[in-house]
Chains A and B, each alone.
Chain A
């Protein structure tokens, strides 16, 4: 459908940085595109679509989320194959995108295999097709433009780096600007034709400016000095690889060209850095003190944000009528005697003593600390032979007819899920020579293709949380809750199922059955009180029961038990040593093929390291709580689930 009526680019109120980034790419496709990230309803897509009307000799080619591999890369031309019996290549979106803008709305929702194909081509600028008996290659150099809402999850670093520039959009805060946004939109909707006409002159002017700048671009001189400064900026921002330097120079060139200048200034480079570096800047190594201005600014805003959030949180607490943190801590210290904070936990030989005093401890509810975003860590899944139930998972992946048809393959066995289109395409080639027996098409066994589907695996995360008295000390529950909430945040983006089990006093309790509502889980977690002894085995046993029951219901799901505890078990499920009993249960979990993570909350002067032992028994990945806070937890789960 031709998009004849689009909201004019020049009629968009504000959003100057995004507009500039788009225009710069139009002037100099060598910049490598732009990723526009921002909250909903901030005219992200409107801007890109508006741009399409401004580009002389350039098109905006859409890459819809429903795209299949054959339409992206190109495939055999079905019609020609049937009518002529010859192989012709039918180009896909990548061919259309050559020398144009390739636009992906909601780029973070694109499925993995499409991203992979895209990365491949974006890198080389050439699309090489080797499929269905077709061998073909064509140039595919395009400006990649994506929009995304970060609430839905981020992009892989590799993909992120493909975008030359990165801009964040926000809603307008100024009331006059906002008024203008509303009235223009309503005017447009009431009469698109009339509205577009009003902006015709402005649009033509902008198009002319882009055109002129394109001609100037070739004349802009890139001196050795400029390259050196660009390299310095990129180095100081601690960017990976050399793409940052290159993009800086290309962007600065476009900025100069747009202003009709033939020389690049430091100011151009600074402006370019604001667009080219945000998504490439990595945290500074500690020894490095020099930071380029832009990053400093960013950091200070981040600090400002954090401070703000801290304030909000405190306000919240006051509203809730909870005692201020300081008092709570004092009470704890008084309770544990005058030992320094680091040692406020009982020594190992005092466990007995603690057991006695535990029941007298009052229940308390800790507010969670700040939620943090979390990044990947590698983890090896269980080996197949260790998991009895694992065969089922891979089997359902192919035989199940649910899920999204991503590609096809030549079947090895009997076909249960026929890929009609691919089969027809395969058969089409031979129609001229085959005996048709009054049928329109003759299909032979060798033509059959079956569908390969991508199925969402039922990911189920069960948090088994220690809520015993020891967790209440030292604000431990605060950081524990923060860590779990951060994991829940990720689970939300991946739309996982979650559940929550807590153990304390003498038993374990289901705080929340397996549900899709992450909101509910976080609510229950917030309200989770701590106090009493540590019945670890009971917690593990309950967790095991819930996950097994769930597995019966949904054999495809990948069960993951996340144990959050210091594992100082002091209540047995039956009789005997509580720690040994927990280890035994851990071994059962492992044998049953339940993936596990252990998050060790031990934070004492003398560490017992029990959690590590239990993690070993469970065959679980082991993390200390403070490692999570170092932004390093979510990947644990993600990698598990991705395998």
Chain B
């Protein structure tokens, strides 16, 4: 079920480059693990996410599969598609756009994970699984506005699925599991309370958005908004060309991604940054390299350069800083810059 509404074009959003870049990178490489957008009210957080939908590329999926399985990727297929493949059946393929699936804050656990199809049970006397939001989110973007207000039970379930890429349902007479690999995009206003560290770490990238401080830019924001509201269709059409160009660039980057190379030294750089900054676990390093790879692909390069790592660090580290209880985690980014600089100097020498 989707309500048709004209969407503010992604390219028409003034400024907020970090946020836009983080979203684009995730579209190019869904394995980045999503993005958390933190910021004050009225900073185009939700607008940007909704606008993203129009830039999303098409992808091949099994036509009659509710989970939209990738016909070529056996590692994340649902049971039915896998069985069919093994039996030598040619799966019907259809190209569909990636979607933004919204998870409302009020969603209950059964709607998120799925539940027993009551109607079917009454009519047929058979158990049938009724898929929930996580099923629809497979291979798509799962968007949670105000993610910090989500009910704890739902957060737990979300963590479970996000961690495994699989939704395991063992509830109310139903035992079922299906792939649930999604790009988790959340927005939050930090004033409303914080996110649990565990969930925080699930977001591949994090960006902090602020209102534009430049007067000219602020004027531009208001002007475009007014223009858009006066005539949405007309406004959107002005950006058609820009939007199409960006979409094409995303697609190219997507195709290039697997050929991008990174050297031993780049690996060392990422590991060193993580050790010196003192982050928990290994997710930061791994994500730093993945993000750098994606950045290189987006720039049309086939090799990662130190500047990619630096830029990636800015997106990967802010929410992963180790902190003692209740101390604010402030990323001393100058330290990261120093490490990269030192590295570059050594390379020249």
Interface residues of A (CB under 8 A from B): 1-5, 38-43, 45, 62-68, 70-72, 75, 78-79, 82-83, 90, 92-93, 105-106, 109, 149, 151-152, 171-173, 175, 178-179, 181-183, 185-186, 189-190, 192-193, 371, 404-405, 420-421, 424-425, 428, 431, 440-441, 456, 485, 488-489, 492, 495, 515-519, 522-523
Q: Give Cα A178–Cα B268 distance, bound, in whole angstroms.
A: 8
| Residue B157 at the chain A interface, CB threshold 8 Å | yes
Judge whether B127 and A78 touch: CB under 8 Å. yes
**Which residues of chain B come closer than 8 Å to A65, judged between CB atoms?**
156-157, 159-160
Q: Give Cα A75–Cα B172 distance, bound, in whole angstroms.
A: 9
- In the complex where A178-B275, A371-B325, A523-B326 touch, is A71 in contact with B175 (Cβ < 8 A)? yes
Q: Give Cα A379–Cα B341 distance, bound, in whole angstroms.
A: 58
**Which residues of chain A come closer than 8 Å to B198, judged between CB atoms?**
40, 106, 149, 151-152
**Which residues of chain B come closer than 8 Å to A185, judged between CB atoms?**
282, 286
**Which residues of chain B come closer than 8 Å to A79, judged between CB atoms?**
125-127
- In the complex where A43-B282, A66-B113 touch, is A183 in contact with B156 (Cβ < 8 A)? no
Interface residues of B (CB under 8 A from A): 31, 74-76, 78-79, 82, 109-110, 113, 116, 118, 121-127, 151-153, 156-157, 159-160, 163-164, 166, 168-175, 177-179, 190-194, 196-198, 201, 258, 264, 267-268, 270-272, 274-275, 279-286, 289-290, 293, 324-326, 328
Judge whether A106 and B31 touch: CB under 8 Å. no
- In the complex where A68-B171, A106-B198 touch, is A178 in contact with B280 (Cβ < 8 A)? no
Q: Give Cα A193–Cα B271 distance, bound, in whole angstroms.
A: 26
- How many A-B pairs have beta carbons closer than 8 Å: the answer is 198
Interface of B is mostly: helix
Judge whether B193 and A517 touch: CB under 8 Å. yes
Which 9 pairs show the lowest CB-CB distances between chains A and B? Answer: A41-B281, A516-B193, A41-B283, A82-B125, A522-B326, A5-B75, A178-B271, A39-B280, A71-B170
Residue of A nearest to B121 (CB): A424
Option from B169, B172, B281 in Cβ contact (under 8 Å) with A405: B172
Judge whether A175 and B268 touch: CB under 8 Å. yes
Option from A42, A179, A405 in Cβ contact (under 8 Å) with B268: A179
Judge whether B172 and A182 touch: CB under 8 Å. no
Judge whether A421 and B173 touch: CB under 8 Å. yes
Judge whether B271 and A64 touch: CB under 8 Å. no
**Which residues of chain B come closer than 8 Å to A425, judged between CB atoms?**
173
A sample of 12 more A-B contacts (CB under 8 A), given A64-B169, A175-B275, is A5-B76, A40-B198, A40-B280, A65-B159, A66-B113, A68-B170, A178-B285, A182-B271, A182-B289, A440-B122, A492-B325, A518-B194
Tell me the smallest distance from the CB of A371 to a CB of chain B, in Å: 6
Q: Give Cα A190–Cα B262 distance, bound, in whole angstroms.
A: 13
Judge whether A192 and B175 touch: CB under 8 Å. no
**Which residues of chain A come closer than 8 Å to B275, judged between CB atoms?**
173, 175, 178
**Which residues of chain B come closer than 8 Å to A72, judged between CB atoms?**
170
Name 6 A/B residue pairs within 8 A (Cβ), A-sorted: A40-B283, A65-B157, A68-B170, A68-B171, A421-B173, A428-B125
**Which residues of chain A come closer than 8 Å to B192, judged between CB atoms?**
516-517
Tell me the smallest distance from the CB of A437 to a CB of chain B, in Å: 14
Tell me the smallest distance from the CB of B334 to a CB of chain A, in Å: 16
Residue of A nearest to B157 (CB): A66
Q: Give Cα A424–Cα B163 distance, bound, in whole angstroms.
A: 34
Tell me the smallest distance from the CB of B171 to a CB of chain A, in Å: 4
Judge whether B172 and A71 touch: CB under 8 Å. yes
Q: Give Cα A62–Cα B192 distance, bound, in whole angstroms.
A: 34
**Which residues of chain A come closer than 8 Å to B159, judged between CB atoms?**
65, 106
Option from A70, A109, A151 in Cβ contact (under 8 Å) with B173: A70
**Which residues of chain A come closer than 8 Å to B282, judged between CB atoms?**
41-43, 171-172, 178, 181-182, 185
Q: Give Cα A516–Cα B280 distance, bound, in whole angstroms.
A: 24
Judge whether A67 and B75 touch: CB under 8 Å. no
Residue of A nearest to B258 (CB): A190
Tell me the smallest distance from the CB of A82 to a CB of chain B, in Å: 3
- In the complex where A65-B160, A70-B172, A105-B160 touch, is A2 in contact with B281 (Cβ < 8 A)? no
**Which residues of chain B come closer than 8 Å to A485, judged between CB atoms?**
325-326
Judge whether A189 and B326 touch: CB under 8 Å. no
Judge whether B196 and A152 touch: CB under 8 Å. yes
**Which residues of chain B come closer than 8 Å to A428, judged between CB atoms?**
125
Tell me the smallest distance from the CB of B317 to a CB of chain A, in Å: 13
Judge whether B171 and A71 touch: CB under 8 Å. yes
Judge whether A495 and B152 touch: CB under 8 Å. yes
Residue of B nearest to A172 (CB): B282
**Which residues of chain B come closer than 8 Å to A68, judged between CB atoms?**
170-172
**Which residues of chain A come closer than 8 Å to B281, judged between CB atoms?**
38-42, 171
Residue of B nearest to A175 (CB): B271
Q: Give Cα A143–Cα B201 distance, bound, in whole angstroms.
A: 29
Q: Give Cα A71–Cα B159 distance, bound, in whole angstroms.
A: 20
**Which residues of chain A come closer than 8 Å to B279, judged between CB atoms?**
171
Q: Give Cα A404–Cα B193 distance, bound, in whole angstroms.
A: 22
Judge whether A404 and B109 touch: CB under 8 Å. yes
**Which residues of chain B come closer than 8 Å to A404, judged between CB atoms?**
109, 153
- In the complex where A62-B168, A517-B191 touch, is A40 in contact with B267 (Cβ < 8 A)? no
